[in-house]
Structure 1
């Protein structure tokens, strides 16, 4: 029996609305700042209503003439961030699902040991091993390149663990039926496991795309060529002005534009993302 308690319902919605306001208000302020002029923002008081310079500011950010402090065009930095995010996402998914498939469905010595070695790497993120990783990347001549930006970030113990846990819930009867039909391991993987893993892959794609998109420390370390700058690096350099005042209206416009790809990915894959995180029975 579900009790109808109007006060608790009202209180719950009030808390949710307050949480949304707290999270969304900084984004709203950034959008307002991106529609104003620099003179208005440096005055110390930011209006709460949009200004009339939205098209002008966003056009200036997207144009090549807005490059400053040795920065390339905003479009090139956005393309670099997009390539980095897509390569990391596809690489992590491919390696993780294949490694999980091997650990679950192949019987070889030290199978569990291999899994736990992969799992233990969760305690060694890039920030912890950044110096030896940089040394290896530099020795291989991968600085200022897409492989240097992406390859060290591709391995994912989290995704491997999630795929392993899902594969362990797949009934053994499916594997036996595929074997009776003459299907080999790759055919079983392609025709049965991949379709069943669709929601899990979608959920991980959203998480991993955002992970790759917002990377700052590693690209900052391995990239000195402006042609490989990412958006996160570009926004930081737009703020770090040596002489003169920061063009805050352009910085805010660039930040709003940088938010759009992750937001679009979440919106477009929202249904599969939620199903991939909440489904327990396959």
Structure 2
């Protein structure tokens, strides 16, 4: 039996509260700055009391996105571009990874292990390493400044393929044999058996891949030259590109708060499934 010790419980909760405060304090500072005028946000030290410009600042960045020094276009438009790109990357990675893992596990063909290890070796080739040939291919195909150019080069995922492969290997072979006896083809078995069993894994990977796609900066910086196709990461960088004397930190902080909302909401609403997908399965 585990004995309850009030002192240890108090110390444990105190440590957790201190950790939460350390994480939340920078977010609070960003929120306070986003509610102040440009002059108030530039003062040192920054006031910890929220200002009166909250609605004005957020409406300004969401609708126009411009400050007195830099015009980056509508932040609302940039968030839409980031949302479409993140969803395209997440769904694309999941679809390709599930189908490739399904083929590697349930189809017998020569060189299957070699194909798997070739896919696995691509983990050592991130986008930063292959960015020059990738950019050349995307440019030659005329996909610059397009949603296809922002998503297609990033949808292949060796990590997701590996995770789905390991999960499919744990599915009892008897299920596949029963499906074959019932006359179900490969795609019917995939749709009616493997897909329902993979729901928690799908949600966990969706959360990870959505945040990965939302936070992209380097590839969109190269693949977009049209302001209307800038994602939110590029927009934030342009807001602070004028130097400290030209940056309106209230506008920047309001943009940062808005940029954190979609991935934060995804994590909050899918937290239960996300944790379950990492530690459990529905088999």
1:237 aligns with 2:267: no
Using the alignment, how far apart are the partners of 1:129 and 1:207 within structure 2? 22
**Alignment partner, residue 29 of structure 1:** 29
**Structure 2, unaligned stretches of length 5 or more?**
none
Scaled by the length of structure 2, the TM-score of the pair is 0.95
The correspondence of residues 164-243 of structure 1 with structure 2, limited to 5 A, is 164-241=165-242
- Give the superposition deviation at 1:147: 1.3
Structure 1 pair 280–242 and aligned structure 2 pair: CA distance change class (3 A) = closer
- Give the superposition deviation at 1:7: 2.3
Using the alignment, how far apart are the partners of 1:272 and 1:244 within structure 2? 45
- Give the superposition deviation at 1:70: 4.5
**Alignment partner, residue 103 of structure 1:** 104
Using the alignment, how far apart are the partners of 2:124 and 2:272 within structure 1? 31
The correspondence of residues 103-122 of structure 1 with structure 2, limited to 5 A, is 103-122=104-123
**Alignment partner, residue 62 of structure 1:** 62
Find the residue that maps to 2:82 and give its secondary structure.
helix
**Alignment partner, residue 263 of structure 2:** 262
Please say which of residues 6-15 and 253-262 is displaced more in the overlay: 6-15
Structure 1 pair 216–263 and aligned structure 2 pair: CA distance change class (3 A) = same
**Structure 1, unaligned stretches of length 5 or more?**
none
- Give the superposition deviation at 1:168: 0.5
**Alignment partner, residue 5 of structure 1:** 5
Using the alignment, how far apart are the partners of 1:33 and 1:70 within structure 2? 20
Could you say what the CA RMSD is over the residues aligned between the two structures, in angstroms?
1.6
Q: How many pairs does the alignment contain?
A: 282
Using the alignment, how far apart are the partners of 2:30 and 2:14 within structure 1? 25
**Does the 8 Å CA contact 2:102/2:168 hold for their aligned counterparts?**
yes
Using the alignment, how far apart are the partners of 1:14 and 1:65 within structure 2? 41
1:47 aligns with 2:47: yes
**Alignment partner, residue 162 of structure 2:** 161
**Does the 8 Å CA contact 2:197/2:282 hold for their aligned counterparts?**
no
Using the alignment, how far apart are the partners of 1:63 and 1:91 within structure 2? 30
- Give the superposition deviation at 1:5: 2.2
- Give the superposition deviation at 1:107: 0.4
Scaled by the length of structure 1, the TM-score of the pair is 0.96
Q: Deviation string for 1:191-249 (max 9, x for gaps)?
A: 01000000000000000000000100110011111111011100111111279621110
Structure 1 pair 243–47 and aligned structure 2 pair: CA distance change class (3 A) = closer
**Alignment partner, residue 149 of structure 2:** 148
Using the alignment, how far apart are the partners of 2:244 and 2:252 within structure 1? 16
- Give the superposition deviation at 1:134: 1.4
Find the residue that maps to 2:246 and give its secondary structure.
coil
- Give the superposition deviation at 1:66: 2.8
Q: Deviation string for 1:98-135 (max 9, x for gaps)?
A: 00000000000111111111111111110121122112
- Give the superposition deviation at 1:64: 2.3
